[in-house]
Amino acid sequence: MEPVNQPVREAPVFERKKAGRVSPKRILFHVFTATLAVLLLYPVIWLFVSSFKESASIFTTSHSLIPDPFILSNYAEGWKGIAGQPFLTFIKNSAIIVGLSTIGAVMSSAVIAYGFARIPFKGKKFWFACMMGTLMLPHEVLMIPQYIMFAKLDWLNSFKPIVVPQFFGHAFFIFLMIQFIRTIPEELDEAARIDGCGRFACFWRIILPLIAPALATSAIFSFYWKWEELIQPLLYLNKPELYPVSLALKLFLDTESASNWGAMFAMSAVSLLPVILVFFLFQKYIVQGISTTGLK
Amino acid sequence: MTGNGADAMKKSRSIRKDNLAGYAFISPFIIGFLCFTVIPMGASLFLSFTSYDLFTAPKWIGLDNFKEMFTGDEKYWQSLKVTFTYVLAGVPLRLGFALFIAVILNNAAKGTAIYRTLFYLPSIIGGSVAVAIMWRNIFGNDGVINALLFFVGIDQKILWYQNPTSALWTLILLSVWQFGSSMLIFLAGLKNIPSSYLEAASVDGANRVQRFFKITLPILTPIIFFNLVMQTISAFMTFTPAYIISKGEGGPLDGTLLYSLYLFQRAFNYFQMGYASAMAWVMLVIVGLITLILFKTSSYWVHYESKEE
């Protein structure tokens, strides 16, 4: 089995032509892919550019990528917030939800993955199948009964319905970590166990540090799923002071008018910034996560 | 005998210890699975045979919800039609495009990392509210798409969101736009194809197209199959873009009324929890059937190599 933690290799050299000379085919390749890249990212660039335009001119000058005049007031306006809440409140709420969910999901998934990957026990196949099954389960089936359950627990208008389930493991992360643990030679923890290391100490001291890349990948995915998530906050949070960024943007859209387009665009851009930043900083881990599990 | 007995006892003790440790480690999963998956699914199945508005006790009505759904609810059929169009058009387009780009990137030996990154970016941000808002606006009457179309000589404004078909196609395009994650998976698969296979075929006189269809594609079929299953399931559950772009309505004329959106409306706008639960279970059965069909037909086109590794 191939170790999963090595960086994605460059393409096999089979098609490689003599180095040094720029062939017409290579030029064609770069023209095609670069055009495609511009086309694909044009909407995003347009969004960012529009956030520096005056609200009234966003749609009258939508063909132009140069804001004239260039203004920053959309950001000031959007930052003031909506529904009586400053935008910072929404960011703070998102940070709390994302932070707690991520810690919960990553830690619990690591413990569970160790159990599946390293300990032989009765019924393992069954529970593993259940775990993989939850990956393929349409969550609509759970939406209504979970809502009723959390309502009965009096958890509505708190972060609990969104955060607490994360502390019981996430199938995608468990699967990712199992794949990763399997690449670590078993002799390593066997040796430690002969030296008197218990199962948990073995997991904590030996496996956990070694699967750090898988933990990082999971944390990154958890970050951006939870940051972008709409449906759960939409169900469980009804007070603007509890809204995360995703719901706040929906508020901007609900009260959409020609006068606040600029602010809506600006805050949309603000909401995308952390995601894009994390993506460019940690894309190595993301690429690994997707390539090794074949999931997303 | 005695030695064997002691060994056996020691062994059985260690097995028991392993069982205990195993269950201790996976206990968070089991608890979560029971509390947040099994019990809710059971509750949902029960509710699907009831009429329940969240405030008064559920009332058993047998199969009435299902009867209403299939015979009395035109909007339900509309949402099925919209969802199937979305899935059947969106998933193949997305996977096909992902494969096409992956092959192109894989063939170019150098300088592809930056393209890989840029092509993947939409997958990261695509599910967000911000991008849905962006999509709503670029396809607006005075949005950038119409501005660009004007630029290439089409001066008739297309009113994307005034027509049910074109509105749905903007959603499909949004889904295809996020082809990057599938592209990455295909790229990883392509890199694992031993170049000796392709070289051998090349020596035998196979051209590029033949090599692709006779070697590359068959080797990739397990990955394509797995992607097809997962993407189909997740496409059936799409909610955020339809909800944001149509402002929760699914309009115009229910043209973007995806199944999840209609289910959400029934449950949380009209508080018909029983009806919505029945809808959820039908969705589960549909998705299950499609997965089953995909698995059944897979033996005809998915090529599994004999394990050598």
Domain boundaries, chain A: 77-290
The shortest C-alpha distance from B279 to chain A (Å) reads: 9
- Asked if B16 reaches chain A (Cβ–Cβ under 8 Å), the answer is no
Tokens 């959106």, residue?
B261
Contact B116, B187 (CB under 8 A): yes
Cβ separation A296–B123 shorter than 8 A: yes
The shortest C-alpha distance from B72 to chain A (Å) reads: 22
- Asked if B70 reaches chain A (Cβ–Cβ under 8 Å), the answer is no
Query: Residue A40: what residue type?
Result: L
A212-221, A230-239, B64-73, B106-115: segment of lowest average pLDDT: B106-115
- Per-chain mean pLDDT for chain B: 85
- For residue A222, give the nearest of A274, A173, A261 by alpha carbon: A173
User: What does the pLDDT read at residue A293?
Assistant: 65
Q: Mark which residues 30-49 of B lie under 8 Å from A by CB.
A: 30-33, 35-37, 39-41, 43-44, 47
Contacts of B119 (CB under 8 A, 6+ apart): A36, A37, A40, B101, B179, B180, B183
φ and ψ at B158, to 5 degrees? -95, 125
The shortest C-alpha distance from A36 to chain B (Å) reads: 8
Give the count of beta carbons closer than 10 Å to the beta carbon of residue A234: 20
Contact A10, A18 (CB under 8 A): no
Measuring CA to CA, how many Å separate A209 from each of A174, A278, B111?
A: 16, 22, 33
Q: Report the DSSP beta bridge partners of residue B51.
A: B59
B1 pLDDT tier (thresholds 50, 70, 90): very low
What is d(CA B113, CA B121) in angstroms, rounded to the nearest whole number? 13
What is d(CA A264, CA A255) in angstroms, rounded to the nearest whole number? 10
Which residues of B are less than 8 Å from A203 in CB distance? 25
**How does pLDDT run across B179-189, given as a tens digit for each residue?**
988 898 888 88
- Per-chain mean pLDDT for chain A: 84
pTM: 0.85
What is d(CA A238, CA A84) in angstroms, rounded to the nearest whole number? 14
Q: A77-290 belongs to which CATH class?
A: mainly alpha
Cβ separation B40–A139 shorter than 8 A: no
**How does pLDDT run across A203-234, given as a tens digit for each residue?**
888 889 888 888 988 999 899 899 999 999 99
- Asked if B221 reaches chain A (Cβ–Cβ under 8 Å), the answer is no
Cβ separation B144–A137 shorter than 8 A: no
Q: Mark which residues 153-212 of B lie under 8 Å from A by CB.
A: 177, 181-182, 184-185, 187-188, 190-191, 193, 195, 198-199
Contact B6, A107 (CB under 8 A): no
User: What does the pLDDT read at residue B277?
Assistant: 93
What is d(CA B188, CA B224) in angstroms, rounded to the nearest whole number? 12
**How does pLDDT run across A274-291, given as a tens digit for each residue?**
999 988 888 877 777 776
Give the count of beta carbons closer than 10 Å to the beta carbon of residue B214: 12
Eight-class DSSP state of B212:
I
Cα dihedral B236→B231→A1→A176 (10° resolution) = -50
What is d(CA B182, CA B95) in angstroms, rounded to the nearest whole number? 7
CATH numeric code, B67-297: 1.10.3720.10
Contacts of A229 (CB under 8 A, 6+ apart): A162, A244, A246
Across the interface, of A30, A245, A296, the residue whose CB is closest to B181 is: A296
Cβ separation B268–A235 shorter than 8 A: yes
B31 pLDDT tier (thresholds 50, 70, 90): very high
Which residues of A are less than 8 Å from B263 in CB distance? 140, 143
User: What does the pLDDT read at residue A4?
Assistant: 41
- For residue A282, give the nearest of A228, A211, A214 by alpha carbon: A214
pLDDT at A71 over 90: no
What is d(CA A122, CA A117) in angstroms, rounded to the nearest whole number? 13
